Amino acid sequence: MNKGSRFQTIPLRDVPFPSPKSNGDTYRPVVMVVDDESSIADTLSEILSRSGYAAVTAYDGDTALETALLMPPEMLITDVVLPGMSGIDLAITIKRIFPDCKIILFSGQASTADLLAAANRDGHQFVLLNKPVHPADLLARIADGLKHRRPQAIATN
Angle at 38 between CA 56 and CA 88, to 5 degrees: 70
Q: State yes or no: pLDDT of 31 exceeds 90.
A: yes
pLDDT digits (tens, 9 = 90+) for 39-98: 999 999 999 999 999 999 999 999 999 999 999 999 999 998 899 898 989 999 999 999
Where along the chain do its domains lie? 28-146
Query: In this structure, which CATH number among 1.10.8.60, 3.40.1010.20, 3.40.50.2300, 1.20.1250.20 belongs to the domain 28-146?
Result: 3.40.50.2300
Question: Is pTM beyond 0.85 here?
Answer: no
What DSSP character marks residue 152? P
Per residue in 125-134, pLDDT (tens digit) is: 777 777 778 8
Q: What is the mean pLDDT of residues 12-21?
A: 52
16-21 long-range contacts, CB within 8 A, separation 24+ = 16/51, 16/136, 16/139, 17/50, 17/51, 18/51, 18/52
